[in-house]
Amino acid sequence: MPETTADEDDPKTAQRAGTTDHADPLPLVPRRGRGAKIVRLAATGVILLLAFGAAAYVWEFYVAAPWTRDGTVRVQVANIAPQVAGQIVEVRVHDNQNVRKGDVLYVIDPVDFEVSVTSADAEVKNREADLQVKNAQSARRQALTTVSTSVEEKQQYAGQAKIAQAALESAQAQLRQAKINLERTQVKSTVNGRVTNLLMRVGDYARTGTSNISVVDTDSYWIDGYFEETKMPNIHVGDRADVKLMGFDPRLTGTVASITLGIATANAAASTQGLPDVNPVYTWVRLAQRVPVRIHIDHVPPEIPLIAGMTATVVVNGGRAPAPSWFMDLRARVSALTHATTAPTIEADRR
């Protein structure tokens, strides 16, 4: 019989030997797992491409394209002053009322002016009668051929007729002026717009040439965008502009109408001795100047009420497509955050 050892008879030893000689092969990676890995890689690539595209888009509109969040809605205001003086007897409008050009705003007491019209009309009639008499006398003298009527007498009567004609024309001019002054007692709006900050009341005294009522000209709204001087090479008259007002989602569209050719500088002021007053500045802090650009408003959504002084974000697009709303919002928020974090530091450096 063959010899056996204790190790061979030991079941644990045999089990370890069998395990060493007959090891199971490694499991294969299923094909389904490989497909999921490829999908993940493809998705990562697509996301990277979109990220690069978005970065290029943001660079174009945030850095290259001229834009500013320092925009303001502007409007012209008609400060209306009476052309005649007198006590106000009637106010026909109230504060914030819409008016049309030619509407009567208030009335000045017309009694004195009506008297002036009556007096001037009577003077015209008197001068007409005098002219008729002078013309008749001159005609009779001119018709006489006797020696008793000299040439000097004829010229004298002809001159009197001309003087009477001149007096009549002067009286007619005074009558016309009196009628105009009477019409001016009804002070009218010179523009289409809205009455603002109305403080007058019946009984106030209106003085000639002194403004006492203001009307916002609703046909004159425009946008002033204050662009950094580094953005000015890409801004031209006629370029398209997109405007977003703070607090309103719809956007306004406009066109660059004009560019200011000068801004004030503190160094231009003279000191008490007439020398230039140059302010000391830190050479390492150089802030770009802001240049006003006037934007003509082409379209206003009906749900947006334009109010002078509103804050606006302005993007000059030139021939490019308009920037999306979400991007203009993001741009304004990033700029506001940047300004909020850097302004205290700059102010501290200045001090």
Q: Give tens-digit pLDDT for 95-113.
A: 999 999 999 999 999 999 9
HSE toward the beta carbon, residue 269, CA cutoff 13 A: 8
For tokens 């009556």, what's the residue? 118
Contact 263, 290 (CB under 8 A): yes
Angstrom distance (rounded) from CA 327 to CA 60: 12
Question: CATH 2.40.30.170 region(s) of the chain?
Answer: 67-76+218-341
Q: Poorest-confidence range of 14-18, 137-141, 206-210, 266-270?
A: 14-18
CB atoms within 10 A of CB 341: 9
Please list the residue range(s) of the chain that carry CATH number 1.10.287: 110-184
Q: Are 88 and 203 in contact (CB under 8 A)?
A: yes
Residues 287-325: pLDDT tens digits?
888 999 999 999 999 999 999 999 999 999 865 555 555
Domain 110-184 -> CATH class: mainly alpha
Find the DSSP H helices in 28-184: 31-59, 111-143, 151-183
Topology of the domain covering 67-76+218-341: Elongation Factor Tu (Ef-tu); domain 3 (2.40.30)
Distances from the Cα of 253 to the Cαs of 298, 299, 308, 313, 326, in angstroms?
A: 6, 5, 17, 12, 16
Q: Mean pLDDT across the stretch 186-207?
A: 96
pLDDT band of 159, cuts 50, 70, 90: confident
Q: Is the pLDDT score of 341 beyond 60?
A: no
Name which of 232, 283, 221, 286 is nearest 259 in CA terms.
Answer: 232
Mean pLDDT score across all residues of the chain: 82
Angle between helices 111-143 and 151-183 (to 10 degrees): 160
> What order of strands is seen across the sheet that includes strand 205-206?
186-188, 104-108, 86-91, 205-206
pTM of the model: 0.69
Q: Residue 315: name the closest of 74, 69, 55 by CA.
A: 69
The dihedral built from the CA positions of residue 47, 49, 52 and 55, taken in this order, carries a sign that is: negative
**Is 95 in a helix, a strand, or coil?**
coil
Handedness of CA 47, 52, 53, 59 (dihedral sign): positive
pLDDT at 288: 84
Q: Which residues, 6+ apart, have CB-to-CB distance to 76 below 8 Å?
A: 217, 220
pLDDT the model gives residue 333: 60
Q: How far apart are CA 131 and CA 160, in angstroms?
A: 9
